[in-house]
Amino acid sequence: MKFTIPARSFAPLLLAFGMLAGCAGSLPPEAELTANPPQYQIAANDQLRVTVFDEESLSGEHVVTSEGNIAFPLLGDIPVAGQTPSDVRELIYERLSPDYMSDPRINVEVLSYRPVYVLGEVGRSGTYDYVPEMTATQAIAAAGGYTYRADKNRVVIRRRNDPQERTYELRSDRPVWVMPGDTITVGERYF
């Protein structure tokens, strides 16, 4: 005796799995999945230290305003949002030389970053300090690790300026980099 199941019996099941997959967010662009961490881009509320060697009056700490600027002596407001620290160094160099200084030596470092937020099936959901080159796995470890119900194979991340959540597969051969301001959600496993 041969037993067959009508194809229409699978339709509700396929629809349910399709809806669940859609809730998890879209897959990230392949360009985001690199072996090297992304370059950090400065944003509002970051605290920067700018050092101009042998010029104490030009060296100091600056908080990036909500408009994305820092107020720099002699130069006024400098737009820094969306730029890397090395970009800011070059920008200050170009504005100081040759009018104010010949060949200034400048260093720009980020003193404090925006936090990352870790939610879901972790030991302690909350706000955690970002450290350069942080991965999703490291952020989860800072949040107390996985709960027994956690899906340890994927994570959902909403980037600071991206309205859409994206699902990332956690693999040992390719890190998932996080950036300051990211919200990382660890879901529940299904089985």
In the chain, CATH 3.10.560.10 covers 116-188
* d(C-alpha 175, C-alpha 36), whole Å: 8
User: What's the rounded Cα separation, in Å, for the pair 14 and 189?
Assistant: 18
Q: Is the pLDDT of residue 180 over 70?
A: yes
Mean pLDDT computed over 86-114: 92
Residue 3 scores a pLDDT above 80: no
**3-class secondary structure, 155:** strand
pTM greater than 0.75 (yes/no): no
Where, residue-wise, is CATH 3.30.1950.10 in the chain?
46-112
pLDDT(179) > 60: yes
Domain 46-112: give its CATH superfamily. wza like domain (3.30.1950.10)
Angstrom distance (rounded) from CA 176 to CA 181: 15
Q: What is the mean pLDDT of residues 178-183?
A: 93
Superfamily of domain 116-188: Outer membrane lipoprotein wza domain like (3.10.560.10)
Q: Give the neighbor-by-neighbor strand order of the sheet with 116-120.
A: 126-128, 116-120, 183-186, 154-158, 166-169
* Chain segment 101-151, per-residue pLDDT in tens: 888 999 999 998 889 999 999 999 999 999 989 999 999 999 999 999 999
